[in-house]
Amino acid sequence: MISARLTSSALRLLFLALLVAAASIVPDRPGLIRPAGGVVAFVGGTLIDGTGAEPVLGCTVLIEDERIIAVGAKVEIPEGAEVIDVSGHTLVPGLIDMHGHLFTNLGGNFENEMVPFARLYLAGGVTTIFTAGEEFPDEVLSFRDAQREGLEIGTRIYSAGPYFDHADGVGPGGTLDGAESARAMFEEWGGKIDGVKVYMGITPEEFSAVAERAHAAGLTVTGHLGSLTASKAIELGIDRLEHGLYAMSEFGSPSSSNPFGLEFMQGIADIDFDSAPGKSLIEQVVENGVVLDPTTVTLESLFGGPLQLTNWRQYLTPNALKANDQMIRALGAMRARMAPAEEWSDLVERVLEKQRELIIRVHAKGGKVVAGTDPVFVDILPGYGLHREVEHFVLAGMTELEAIRACTLDAAESLGLEKELGSIEVGKYADLVVLEGNPADDITALGGTKIVCQAGARFSPEELRESVIGAIE
């Protein structure tokens, strides 16, 4: 017979063992103010719900656990609810970055940046990303799954997994060599990924094989094109076009050896959208319901444009900074060899203006434009980059409310997630951002994140950012 004393000791040892085991699986949660649970009421703020509707003053948003249960100016707050007064602030839906990579290029070396990038997106109010191709697809999918199990924090991840590219293409990890290999690659990845990303070297036969399998599985297909024109890809069934004019080879495409070439830049700057080819392409995009993800902020960074974000350098290790600065100097020297600084600067602005013209022409015709950033270069810092991308939409001619919808509800619809995400409406996940200013008056206020809610869990943007200072390596 075991004595009571021994039983008590054994229980204490068992309890300690359980504590140790729990500590080994409970994740580090920097920036977490409160996990999802119970009833929370945000009261007194100005509501921009993401649908394009006019802002509602003095609004209450009621959350229970992970979901929104009431929205309006006259919402009864249940007894015992946690009340958060957000008077003088604005509530917007969680933002969605449709080209949100989790790796970076530091001096020609690709590095996995899942943890710092996931937290920086979330700190910027970007509660969801679609990765649009990954250099480290297995690691990203594992990280995504760990998030879904509550073991990691950061932006909600939907991933395209690897790039689907011809084996002789210029993209990372190309393995395709004909239609059969394209089908085989989809069979390998199709059950794991949330969408498909085709890349610059894919052939029409390979594209058709991938798209047929992807659509049968309920997945969308997007692409950074090169070997295929945008017009041909639309004909073959593409759902979304990445990078706008930069990846539309009917207007001239960058060569694999120099995607920064002067001739290519001038070709973009001289596009005439009133010409027959220009009109035809825009009509084809709109009539086929193809979504445009222009990533204008990418062009702004890629070509040395006037990109002005935050102090992104503080998030890099010394070695990463050194490698990145060497790359920046090399790109600057290459531009200097092609054109004088003032001439190059004028050309970049003409390219950005032409990209914005594409955006507003597609939008004005009733086409859908969404916001993505492609932060492979670290000056397009996750979170901050999306704020700048949406600013380009307003510069193009969208209203502020239209631009906000582009990075919320329109993005959710393009992923088939509009019943769960993209707007502050009853029944949807409680993804919302409390902003210091009002982006309906000044779109740059979208960057003034004070509180971020993701499925009801509440985060401090400041603490999330502090947790990854010096973490990008």
Name the band, by pLDDT with cuts 50, 70 and 90, for residue 169.
Answer: low
CA distances from 181 to 203, 237, 290, 341, 466 (A): 12, 19, 26, 46, 45
Question: What is the mean pLDDT of the segment spanning 415-419?
Answer: 97
How many angstroms from the chain centroid is the CA of residue 297?
12
Judge whether residue 11 has pLDDT over 50.
no
pLDDT at residue 267 in the model: 86
Q: pLDDT value at position 19?
A: 32
Output the pLDDT for position 108: 77
Nearest to 438 by CA among 87, 95, 126, 97: 87
Q: What is the pLDDT of residue 172?
A: 60
In the chain, where the domains are located: 32-93+424-466, 95-414
Q: How confident is the model at residue 23 (pLDDT cuts 50, 70, 90)?
A: very low
What per-residue confidence (pLDDT) applies to 167?
A: 72
**How, if at all, do strands 109-112 and 103-106 pair?**
antiparallel
Q: Give this prediction's pTM.
A: 0.92
pLDDT at 91 over 50: yes
* CATH 3.40.50.1260, applies to 95-414: no
Sign of the CA dihedral with 33 first, then 36, 40, and 42 last = positive
Structure tokens at 151: 């073991």
Average pLDDT for residues 24-30, to the nearest whole number? 57
444 pLDDT more than 80: yes
In this structure, how many other beta carbons lie within 10 angstroms of the beta carbon of residue 204? 14
pLDDT at 196: 97
Asked which of 28-37, 217-226, 426-435, 447-456 is least confident by mean pLDDT, the reply is 28-37
pLDDT at position 170, please?
Answer: 55
What is the per-residue pLDDT across 246-303, written as a single tens digit (0 to 9) for each?
999 887 655 444 566 788 888 889 999 999 989 999 999 999 999 999 999 999 988 8
Spatial separation of the C-alpha atoms in residues 347 and 339, rounded to whole Å: 10
Residue 18 reports pLDDT greater than 50 = no
Name the token pair of 264: 């290519």
Q: In what order do the strands lie in the sheet with 156-158?
A: 95-97, 126-130, 156-158
Phi, psi torsion values for 304, nearest 5 degrees: 75, 35
Q: How far apart are CA 230 and CA 241, in angstroms?
A: 7
Place of tokens 């999918």: 141
Q: Would you say residue 348 has pLDDT above 70?
A: yes
Residue 293, beta-bridge partner list: 242
Check pLDDT > 80 for residue 305.
no
- DSSP label at residue 446: G
Residues 6+ apart with CB under 8 A from 169: 176, 199, 200, 201, 202, 226, 227
Asked whether the predicted pLDDT for residue 20 surpasses 50, the reply is no
Q: Do the beta carbons of residue 219 and residue 194 sit within 8 Å?
A: yes
Do 331 and 114 touch, CB atoms closer than 8 A? Answer: no
Joined together, the tokens standing for residue 391 give: 């600013």
pLDDT band at 24 (very low <50, low <70, confident <90, very high): very low
- Please write the tens of the pLDDT for every residue from 385-409: 999 999 999 999 999 999 999 999 9
- Residue holding tokens 């502050």? 424
- 3-state SS assignment for residue 473: coil
Please give the full DSSP string across 294-319, using - where no structure is assigned.
Answer: --HHHHHHHTT-----S-GGGGB-HH
If one counts every other C-beta atom within 10 angstroms of the C-beta of residue 22, the result is 9
For the chain, what is the mean pLDDT? 90
What confidence score (pLDDT) does residue 419 get? Answer: 98
Quickly state the pLDDT bin for 111 (edges 50, 70, 90). very high
Residue 258: the pLDDT is: 56
The CA distance from 423 to 4, in Å, is 58
pLDDT higher than 60, residue 14: no
Q: In whole angstroms, give the CA distance from residue 59 to residue 432.
A: 13
Rounded-to-integer distance, Cα 235 and Cα 244, Å: 17
Q: Which pLDDT score is estimated for 4? A: 36
What is the pLDDT averaged over residues 61-86?
Answer: 97
Q: Which of 63, 72, 24 is nearest to 41 (CA)?
A: 63
What is the C-alpha separation between 33 and 16, in angstroms, rounded? 27
Given CA atoms 208, 214, 218, 222 in this order, what sign does their dihedral have?
Answer: negative
Q: What is the pLDDT of residue 37?
A: 94
Nearest Cα neighbor of 91 from 387, 423, 390 is 423
- Structural contact between residues 461 and 450, judged by C-beta atoms closer than 8 angstroms: yes
Out of 8-12, 99-103, 176-180, 467-471, which region has the weakest mean confidence (pLDDT)?
8-12
pLDDT computed for residue 42 by the predictor? 98
The model's pLDDT over 112-150, given as tens digits with 9 standing for 90+, comes to 999 999 999 999 999 999 999 999 999 999 999 999 999
Residue 57 DSSP SS3:
strand
Q: What is the pLDDT of residues 219-228, one digit of tens each?
A: 999 999 988 9
- The larger pLDDT score, comparing residue 25 to residue 222, is at 222
32-93+424-466: which CATH architecture? Roll (2.30)
